[in-house]
Structure 1
Amino acid sequence: MMEQRTEIINVASPSLSEPPSFDRAMDAAIGKVTGGVSPTALALAYLDCALHVSKSIDTQADLITSAASAYWRFVDYCLRACADPDCETCIEPEARDKRFADNLWQTQPFRAYAQGFLLAQDWWARAMTAPPGVDKHHQDVVTFVARQLLDVASPANFPATNPAIIAQTLKEGGRNLQRGFWLWLNDWTRALDGAPSADISDYVLGRDLATTPGEVVFRNELIELIQYAPQTEKTHPEPILITPAWIMKYYILDLSPENSLVRYLVENGFTVFMISWKNPTAADRDLSLEDYRRLGVDAAVSQVASIAPGKLHLVGYCLGGTLAAIAAAAMARDRDDRLQSLTLLAAQTDFTEAGELTLFVDEAQVTFLENVMAEQGYLDAWQMAGAFQLLRSSDLIWSKMVRSYWLGEPPAMFDLMAWNADATRMPYKMHAEYLRKLFLNNEFAQEKYFVEGRPVALRDVRAPIFAVGTERDHVAPWRSVYKIHAQASADVTFVLTSGGHNAGVVNPPGPKKRRHQIATHDDLQAYVDPDAWRAAAAHHEGSWWPCWLEWLEECSSAPVAAPKTAPSIAPTPGAYVLER
């Protein structure tokens, strides 16, 4: 039995025999400079906007008028500030813009610097509202790039125009700059060495993170399956199988004990299994999206069924949720009734409104990225991390650099930050298929995605569905996650919780101020649009975890004696999660 469980199954897709390509080598070289962003895609977007603006007299006149208005508003403010430094401002930053929140920004001339920048930012936002005829995707790309360039030029980023940096430098006699230099040098060295983006040596897997007791009970060339030890005498007979995204290490759901969703579940009477994905290398370049379903979710479901016969609760997070939904649809199509329920955490099943990540997904960009990945065999961790950081560059890039390199404050390290620095790669073929089939062509939502030669549809799934969206999610916007209501034929319980893509899911009960809304949509009810749902759904203070636990209990049978753990290959956290 042990030999059967430890066998490495080598059934990945055969290697693609492609001839050498000069174009591919060229794109790969360019991609190393641009971070995987296609210059052609950017050029097409700018050319579209420029041509339409060049022939639109109304647009040109409006831009000139608004620029003159902004200029005179700024001049008027400066004149008033000369007489009264505390006079009323002419523009206020957006509520989420915290760059000028320090009281030192209320002193002159720094207040004037901030006002000038905010007026320029407001004008560029107006300028990016292109005339009719511009492709919406192109307009969104140009707007996004303009915002990135403006974020670079913010007076908050430079020591001569940031009062907090000047005050700290005077207070410490420049020692903050000295510390910042060493922090910069350490970060640069880590980047060159391919080490984690932050020092996570104080967080050891199995000691500080991923501490819930468990055993690896199955392994193939793509996954390890972890079975966690029960923490109660009785457990519900239907186990929970969690499919995390392969873009992240699985222990995002088993961080420190107080932040562990896994621990919360086993302490409340559930048997939990977790997939731990392999960190692919160039040798795994030809693993496909279908391999991830077959060797990942499908293999794990079969192993869980052999250990705990009967039905199970399937849970998917982020990309793992999309894959879990595809696997559930395939099971339903084939009349496989092992699914008791389906839970999707910040996971999209329809990509028509997938947020700002779609800026990186059009035909030119996907083709360019395919060439970049084909040359190296995978999408590197830093390339994907850079794309996510750009979505919130003012917070995740520039404000962080100001704190570290100018103020000399090392970034605060906690369990979620340590996990975030422990990045993974994605194999060429799988990620190319994911971008093209799901993001670009939206095949799953259109019921054109094929599994084993036949299409699958989420409406075939009859098991109840629990879906979670997070308010500040830039990866899987909650309105995009909400689209499952229009696809599913089952009862859908939807939760909208405070927080972002990660902090909104890792949301344990406790003293932190959390809130969520929840409502169940019966499969016989008429469709309700997301804004109407938000207006009507019940509000709750605190974590959404207890609501999900109650829902799982209602979907489960009465507790019975806890099952024994299957024969062990290795203790948690396993081997795959340690791969760099």
Structure 2
Amino acid sequence: MAKTTPKPVANLPVTVTAKPDEIVPRPVAHPHKNLDRSIRAALAHTTGGVSPYSVSQAWNDWALHLARSPGRQLELAECAQTNALKMMFYATGALSGKDTPAPFAAKPHDHRFAHDAWDNPPFNLWKQGFLAVQDWWDHATDTTRGLDPQDAERTRFQVRQMLDLMSPSNFPGTNPEIIEETIREGGRNLIEGASHFTEDVMQTLTQTHKPAPEGYQIGTDLACTPGEVVFRNDLFELIQYTPKTKTVRAEPVLFVPAWIMKYYILDLSPQNSMINYLVGQGFSVFMISWCNPTADQADLSLEDYRKRGVLAALDAINAIVPDQKVHANGYCLGGTLLAITAATMARDGDDRLASVTLMAAQVDFAEAGELLLFVDESQVAFVEDMMWEQGYLDRPQMTRTFASIRAEDLIYTRAVNRYFLGKDDLPTDITVWNGDTTRMPARMHSEYLRGLFLENRLTAGRFAVEGRVIALKDIAVPMFVIATESDHIAPWKSVYKTQLFTDCDLTFVLTKGGHNGGILSEPGHPGRHFRIGHRAPGALYRGADRWLAAHPSEPGSWWPKYAAWLGRKNPRNSPLPQMGNPDADLAPLCPAPGTYVHQM
């Protein structure tokens, strides 16, 4: 990657509130401090963006509290003794041929030991020994009185990373599946795996972008819902989709995806495209396709994404479909941005929104899951220094963060399959999309990390837009909020707290799946279920666990419920709108999916 000229991103004004409505500019740093930043940026590249201070602080906090707690030490010694006795009893039974129940079980999401041969000696002993050590460390990193809960979680996370690295499933001599495959293939699997390893190393070193495999071409197989790009600026392209019905609902729908991903997660293959589904249901749909920022766009801010992004898209839609309100739908970070935009519009008397939908999007970050383990003052400063040097947070740096949260599956299981079993990655639409990553502009990502993740200003009444604080309670239009059961990026209870900070008519859906899979829940998808509930305007808040107990699971997809909800909020039909509006300088520029989606 070419060396870019460092940009003084940290010297830009940042909202630091002494009084709620006051903006205090951050003092300009002394030029000599750039030397410190350059050194920290170089260190950040070697550590993958992880602050060594944050790591050592967590371990010091844990160790010091354990050292002054003799009762806790005795408890852990007893736990170790109990686990050792369980292992001794199990090993004795297993080696003597008895059917002895296994004392330890892998966690529900851990599939490393699913092969039947892991239940045969000696592999069952290695498996149980690993799980026994994992069980002890889970107890050892429980919160101790006086220990910062975040430091306890950090130590647990770091121990899990180390244990995942040393798992017997990772080594050819201790993994029965690798041994069986090597015997069956005569070692050809290892040769094929070595080829895969060389290919991946070269791609990592050169940072080349893999071309989409055959059958997964963007615009032909993926992101292939017909439409036109009707507006473009340096930040985004606006896609208007071609109607499939004789008439459409009068009020259009605008999707605001996250800028951390390519938009076509919502328009994958035709059968699981949410866009294609809604267009087929008679809705007039628009989509924002964000640019993939470069170092020259390091100064893009959250305000740019709000004003020159969402509001500019609304302006264009109002010119194409005049005199109609817009149903806005935000996904992931796009939902957070949409909530900020909707609250600002409500504060300023802008009534162009008809409803707001938030999909796997957080407005409160106090319970943001394991991503919070990467956010403290030292860690944010470390990432800021790295972005200061290169102008953005690069694709591999974000990918490593998300992969480490589920390292046993996303890193080690894939490595075993690819390098030891010789299996090539089978492409699917979602894995192709997952590899089509984007960058994050330095200033915007810094504002996001500090203002939302680190300081949680939005729900604390300290998030200012154009010099004045906004409040989510000002949003009066109906809301539809979707969370997913196994989301490790936006945990469902965190998404659920949207109900705590709003007073409007709100429908909440909890659906099976993860951050992406739960949203891609098309009708006919096997094994899907969801829960749905309604909160009337001004109703009292009900906690997440009480809500869960009160709303039974329903089989199938939540999409029809959402289409019906949109239909009730948008009952009138109208003739097909024109594609763009040449009279308003919004003539179609090119067919969907446009040009920004192809940016590397």
The TM-score with structure 2 as length reference comes to 0.93
3-state SS, counterpart of residue 482 of structure 1: helix
3-state SS, counterpart of residue 350 of structure 1: coil
In the alignment, is the contact (CA less than 8 A) between 1:85 and 1:107 conserved in 2? no
* One-letter identity of the residue aligned with 1:487: F
- Aligned pair partner of 1:569 in 589, 593, 596: 589
Given the superposition, is the C-alpha separation of residues 130 and 561 from structure 1 closer, same or farther in structure 2, using an over 3 Å criterion?
A: closer
In the alignment, is the contact (CA less than 8 A) between 2:250 and 2:574 conserved in 1? yes
1:187-210 deviations in whole A, cap 9, x for unaligned?
112212212368546421111111
CA distance in 2, matches of 1:136, 1:335: 42
Residue 213 of structure 2 is aligned to residue 193 of structure 1? no
CA distance in 1, matches of 2:109, 2:441: 36
**What pairs up with 1:60-79 in 2 under 5 angstroms?**
60-79=73-92
CA distance in 2, matches of 1:188, 1:245: 29
Identical positions, percent: 48
CA distance in 2, matches of 1:460, 1:331: 9
3-state SS, counterpart of residue 459 of structure 2: coil
The answer for the alignment partner of 1:40 in structure 2 is 53
- Aligned pair partner of 1:88 in 90, 95, 101: 101
CA distance in 2, matches of 1:298, 1:214: 21
How far is 1:91 from its partner?
1.7
* One-letter identity of the residue aligned with 2:362: Q
CA distance in 1, matches of 2:179, 2:70: 45
Residue 532 of structure 2 is aligned to residue 518 of structure 1? yes
In the alignment, is the contact (CA less than 8 A) between 1:345 and 1:469 conserved in 2? yes
In the alignment, is the contact (CA less than 8 A) between 1:187 and 1:198 conserved in 2? no
CA distance in 1, matches of 2:11, 2:546: 49
The answer for the alignment partner of 2:429 in structure 1 is 415
Given the superposition, is the C-alpha separation of residues 130 and 518 from structure 1 closer, same or farther in structure 2, using an over 3 Å criterion?
A: closer
The answer for the alignment partner of 1:343 in structure 2 is 357
* One-letter identity of the residue aligned with 1:432: S
Residue 374 of structure 2 is aligned to residue 354 of structure 1? no
**What pairs up with 1:171-250 in 2 under 5 angstroms?**
171-196=184-209, 200=213, 202-250=215-263
1:65-105 deviations in whole A, cap 9, x for unaligned?
22122222212221121212542222222232221111111
RMSD, matched Cα: 1.5
- Aligned pair partner of 2:378 in 347, 350, 364: 364
Residue 480 of structure 2 is aligned to residue 466 of structure 1? yes
The answer for the alignment partner of 2:438 in structure 1 is 424
My pick for the range that moved more, 138-147 or 123-132, is 123-132
My pick for the range that moved more, 421-430 or 86-95, is 86-95
CA distance in 1, matches of 2:145, 2:470: 38
3-state SS, counterpart of residue 578 of structure 2: coil
**What pairs up with 1:247-286 in 2 under 5 angstroms?**
247-286=260-299
CA distance in 2, matches of 1:65, 1:537: 42
**What pairs up with 1:288-299 in 2 under 5 angstroms?**
288-299=301-312
Greater than 6 Å deviation, 4+ residue runs: none
* One-letter identity of the residue aligned with 2:557: S
1:181-228 deviations in whole A, cap 9, x for unaligned?
111111112212212368546421111111111111111110111111
The answer for the alignment partner of 1:164 in structure 2 is 177
- Aligned pair partner of 1:26 in 29, 33, 39: 39
* One-letter identity of the residue aligned with 2:117: L
CA distance in 2, matches of 1:26, 1:204: 41
The answer for the alignment partner of 2:558 in structure 1 is 544
1:243-293 deviations in whole A, cap 9, x for unaligned?
000000011111111111111011111111100101011111111111111
3-state SS, counterpart of residue 458 of structure 2: coil
* One-letter identity of the residue aligned with 2:340: I
Given the superposition, is the C-alpha separation of residues 196 and 535 from structure 1 closer, same or farther in structure 2, using an over 3 Å criterion?
A: farther
The answer for the alignment partner of 1:133 in structure 2 is 146
CA distance in 2, matches of 1:170, 1:313: 59
Residue 462 of structure 2 is aligned to residue 442 of structure 1? no
The answer for the alignment partner of 2:120 in structure 1 is 107
3-state SS, counterpart of residue 225 of structure 2: coil
In the alignment, is the contact (CA less than 8 A) between 2:363 and 2:495 conserved in 1? yes
3-state SS, counterpart of residue 483 of structure 2: strand
3-state SS, counterpart of residue 183 of structure 1: helix
3-state SS, counterpart of residue 217 of structure 1: strand
CA distance in 2, matches of 1:557, 1:512: 31
CA distance in 2, matches of 1:131, 1:288: 40
* One-letter identity of the residue aligned with 1:466: F
The answer for the alignment partner of 2:542 in structure 1 is 528
In the alignment, is the contact (CA less than 8 A) between 1:187 and 1:197 conserved in 2? no
My pick for the range that moved more, 19-28 or 307-316, is 19-28
Residue 66 of structure 2 is aligned to residue 53 of structure 1? yes
Given the superposition, is the C-alpha separation of residues 166 and 14 from structure 1 closer, same or farther in structure 2, using an over 3 Å criterion?
A: closer
3-state SS, counterpart of residue 528 of structure 1: coil
- How many pairs does the alignment contain? 568
**Where in structure 1 are there 5+ consecutive unaligned residues?**
1-12
In the alignment, is the contact (CA less than 8 A) between 1:322 and 1:347 conserved in 2? yes
The answer for the alignment partner of 1:9 in structure 2 is none
**Where in structure 2 are there 5+ consecutive unaligned residues?**
1-8, 13-27, 581-586
* One-letter identity of the residue aligned with 2:256: T
- Aligned pair partner of 1:451 in 465, 471, 481: 465
CA distance in 2, matches of 1:375, 1:443: 27
How far is 1:143 from its partner?
0.7
CA distance in 2, matches of 1:511, 1:25: 50
- Aligned pair partner of 1:312 in 326, 330, 341: 326
Given the superposition, is the C-alpha separation of residues 316 and 405 from structure 1 closer, same or farther in structure 2, using an over 3 Å criterion?
A: same
CA distance in 2, matches of 1:570, 1:367: 41
How far is 1:142 from its partner?
0.6
* One-letter identity of the residue aligned with 1:137: Q
CA distance in 2, matches of 1:383, 1:322: 22
In the alignment, is the contact (CA less than 8 A) between 1:341 and 1:465 conserved in 2? yes
CA distance in 2, matches of 1:202, 1:148: 36
CA distance in 2, matches of 1:445, 1:329: 11
CA distance in 2, matches of 1:423, 1:541: 33
3-state SS, counterpart of residue 170 of structure 1: helix
Given the superposition, is the C-alpha separation of residues 209 and 547 from structure 1 closer, same or farther in structure 2, using an over 3 Å criterion?
A: same
My pick for the range that moved more, 434-443 or 507-516, is 507-516
1:26-54 deviations in whole A, cap 9, x for unaligned?
11111111111111111111111111111
The answer for the alignment partner of 2:21 in structure 1 is none
In the alignment, is the contact (CA less than 8 A) between 2:479 and 2:505 conserved in 1? yes
CA distance in 2, matches of 1:399, 1:160: 16
CA distance in 1, matches of 2:537, 2:497: 14
3-state SS, counterpart of residue 483 of structure 1: helix
The answer for the alignment partner of 2:17 in structure 1 is none
In the alignment, is the contact (CA less than 8 A) between 2:10 and 2:388 conserved in 1? no
CA distance in 2, matches of 1:527, 1:359: 28
How far is 1:557 from its partner?
3.0
In the alignment, is the contact (CA less than 8 A) between 2:525 and 2:557 conserved in 1? no
My pick for the range that moved more, 57-66 or 275-284, is 57-66
The answer for the alignment partner of 2:134 in structure 1 is 121
Residue 168 of structure 2 is aligned to residue 148 of structure 1? no
